[in-house]
Amino acid sequence: MAILITGGAGFIGSNFVYEWVNHSNEQIINLDKLTYAGNLENLKALKNQGQHIFVQGDIANQELVGQLLEKYQPRAIINFAAASHVDRSIKGPEDFVMTNVVGTFKLLEAARHYYSNLTDQNKAQFRFLHVSTDEVYGSLLPTENGFTEKNPYQPNSPYSASKASSDHFVRAYYHTYGLPVLTTNCSNNYGPFQFPEKLLPLIIHNALNEKPLPVYGDGTQVRDWLYVTDHCQAIMTVLENGQLGEVYNVGGFNEQKNIEVVKSICSHLDKKRPRAQGKSYSELITFVTDRPGHDKRYAIDATKINKNLDWAPKETFQTGLEKTVNWYLDNQAWTQSVTSGEYRKWVDTNYAARG
């Protein structure tokens, strides 16, 4: 038996590969385009591991996907592939439409053709699991309950709009063609291998290099933080036990203001890697102009997956954050390898004008 995943050299995808190899004997075929955020360094520990097969390619290449499906006959497809950074979507929305909307459509078409030719027994086993985001639901007021699977879609950025569109296509392929789909909408992930344009690795990287720690607006935006390994285990749970056609919201039950997250990182670093002359890393915090359409609060109500599938996160924000800081301290060579000239150019472009 085998599964095919897309985007498996990225942050969540690579963590999923390790979780899969550690908990299953099934082969995992990993298709990734290797854009700036996809990195084979994430998977180097599996280089000589026959259970993991890496293929460089685009999910929009329907012919290639079809060939992989015919060759390996997977019992499931898990779609992690996505352009995912809101700031980049504001600067260049077309890439997000092409990857998240057109790419998902092409992947669904390849899956539909493959599924139609399976035996009845294999059809009963097959699943198409689409990994999405809580950002499709828009923004919450401070007193509102967390997003449930019944919340209407109200995306506010090109990124979240593109993911909302992909979610709708996945739903349509279930209702129109009978493709056995599942969708997960997760809250903010953090942990090892996250590209340092996202908040936690950006703050850690800048702090260790004595650079300003940029915080949008007043830093009071609230996010629900989900440790990446908990997310991967939730996906495995949905894959095996989820009800076809259903959506499952996956959250960490860890709402935090951005400024508090940054201060917590500084506190960990103050203890683990003290600055010269006893200064705190928090002195590097710099408030910058907020980004357009910045959602004020996200929060996930994960009651459904908890009640129906018996899943709950194992990490608190405190335990997950400590593991994350320790990983980046122990793997600074990885961070240096991915913060290329293109990365530095992006950071300069995105934050310099906001100072």
Q: Which residues does 322 contact at the CB level (< 8 Å), separation at least 6?
A: 268
Residue 283 token pair: 């002195």
Give me the residue label for tokens 């508090």.
260
Beta bridge partners of 257: 222
Catalytic residues: 134-135, 159
User: What is the Cα–Cα distance from 154 to 137, expressed in whole angstroms?
Assistant: 5
Rounded-to-5 percentages of helix, strand, coil across the chain: 50, 15, 35
**Angle, alpha carbons 200-135-150 (nearest 5°):** 135
Coil, strand or helix at 113:
helix
Biggest CA-to-CA distance, the chain:
69
- CB contact at 8 A, 89 and 38: no
Handedness of CA 68, 70, 73, 75 (dihedral sign): positive
Q: Give CA–CA dist 347/286, Å, rounded.
A: 14
CA contacts within 13 A on the Cβ side of 236 = 21
Buried b (16+ CB within 10 A) or exposed e, 299-321: bbbbebbbeebebebebebeebb
Angle, vertex CA 202, rays to CA 196 and CA 203, nearest 5? 155
